[in-house]
Amino acid sequence: MTHDPISGNEAGESSVPESVDPQREGLSRRALLFGGGGLAVGAIAGAALAGNVIDRAATSVDAIVPWRGAHQAGIVTTPQGFLTLIAFDLADGVDALRLERLLRIWTDGIDRLTQGRPGLTDTEPELAAHPARLTCTVGLGSGAFTQTGLESRRPVWLRPLPAFPNEELDEAWSGGDLVLQVCGEDPSVVAHAARFLAKDVRDFTTVRWTQNGFRNAAGQVPAGTFRNQFGQLDGSQNLQGEEAQYVFIDDPTAPAWLLGGSTMVVRRIRMNLDTWDELDRPGRENAVGRRLDDGAPLTGGTEASAADLDAKNALGFPVIDQAAHIRRSRTDDPTQRFLRRPYTYQGEPAGTISDTGQVWIAFQKDIEHQYIPVQRRQSELDLLNVWITPIGSAVFAVPRGVREGEFLAQDLFG
């Protein structure tokens, strides 16, 4: 049994080279040995040793992300290609006992589905056979506490975010008593898992909203980065390998169900492609501060390079605009960093050519210290705000991972 220092999860008995971490990269031993469309283990290990994040193309349909462990899977897991995010409201009369029952049901369902086994009452078991890096991550909204008599156990930060100047929030995309984040490399498997888990708790819940998202096909761009619908490489300066330090709650005074858990911010951010179309390429690059083709900062280097924010052009003006997205989003305080895990959404309203944006998800151990100051600075001034508008917002507490014999958030009900 190996133990992953970042996810804290058990990676299973494995002869996988240490640099190829099965939990983070979703490679089961079986996938490494037999999967990957004939891709040799040596090629995979070679890519890892070359310093690349393992390419998602190297994963097979049988790739399994372990889910039992110190933290829930689907947080520091290298983002899969597809997302279904469902927020639920608890039905009237659901008390703590029934919430506990719901979380027991989900624990069992997630246990099975993510490991390639059908759920107990699965009417389409064949859709569960090849999990393709399926992860299901559960979070609790404030209503899970206020409605069930658990208010005294609600973390103080578990409440709607403060209002920000540039947003136009729509209730239809906001809030929720519970959230289920289902991610995977196969949209059919993701859809099946999401429906199964939603169906399993329909006596206790109603669906408040569902948001579907996607990134690039495996192999298009290095895993961890994707091209958003503005054409930008997105994710370049994300946490890479330092996640544990910033993402998982490690305050010893935190309640046991949260110690090892996280906080989740969900924002639905509309991207106005019609007005973005009016902007030329230099204008587009200026808005973010990075090049469109290779994602390098306008001050040079590669996608991995940090921008030189002090650099001036021949006229003495800053090369990275004072209001560029990367200048306004970055922080001088390293303790304010967080993990971004966004997906592109694509709406389909009749009569419009594009209704697109991001289901923008961030994980951090402390929302008020890490996320809010950055969001506040960005909302006040950021060139990108001309083309992006937050239209939905929600906050969830993500319970710690479950070990053998446990169920999700069980310490909450002690």
Least distance CB 134 / ligand HEM (angstroms)? 25
For ligand HEM, which stretch binds (CB under 6 A), given 76-84, 179-187, 197-205, 231-239?
Answer: 231-239
Say how far apart CA 414 and CA 411 lie, in whole Å. Answer: 5
Residue 65 sits in the site that holds ligand HEM (CB under 6 A): no
Residue 7 sits in the site that holds ligand HEM (CB under 6 A): no
Q: Which of 11, 90, 110, 269 binds ligand HEM (CB under 6 A)?
A: 269
Residue 360 sits in the site that holds ligand HEM (CB under 6 A): yes
Q: Which of 177, 234, 243, 285 binds ligand HEM (CB under 6 A)?
A: 234
Say how far apart CA 140 and CA 5 lie, in whole Å. Answer: 25
Would you please indicate which residues are annotated as catalytic (active-site) residues? 234
Q: Which of 58, 70, 359, 374 binds ligand HEM (CB under 6 A)?
A: 374
Look-up: residue for tokens 């950055």? 374
Least distance CB 236 / ligand HEM (angstroms)? 4
Q: Which of 107, 137, 174, 237 binds ligand HEM (CB under 6 A)?
A: 237
Q: Which of 11, 136, 388, 408 binds ligand HEM (CB under 6 A)?
A: 388
Nearer to ligand HEM, 112 or 267 (CB): 267
Interactions with ligand HEM, residue window 291-330 (CB under 6 A): 325-326, 329-330
Least distance CB 164 / ligand HEM (angstroms)? 9
Rg of the chain over all Cα atoms, to the nearest angstrom? 21
411, 257 contact by CB (below 8 A): yes
Residue 230 sits in the site that holds ligand HEM (CB under 6 A): yes
Least distance CB 229 / ligand HEM (angstroms)? 8
Nearer to ligand HEM, 178 or 269 (CB): 269
Say how far apart CA 129 and CA 115 lie, in whole Å. Answer: 9
Interactions with ligand HEM, residue window 162-191 (CB under 6 A): none
By the criterion CB under 6 A, which residues form the site for ligand HEM? 228, 230, 232-238, 267, 269, 271, 288, 290, 325-326, 329-330, 357-358, 360, 374-375, 378, 388
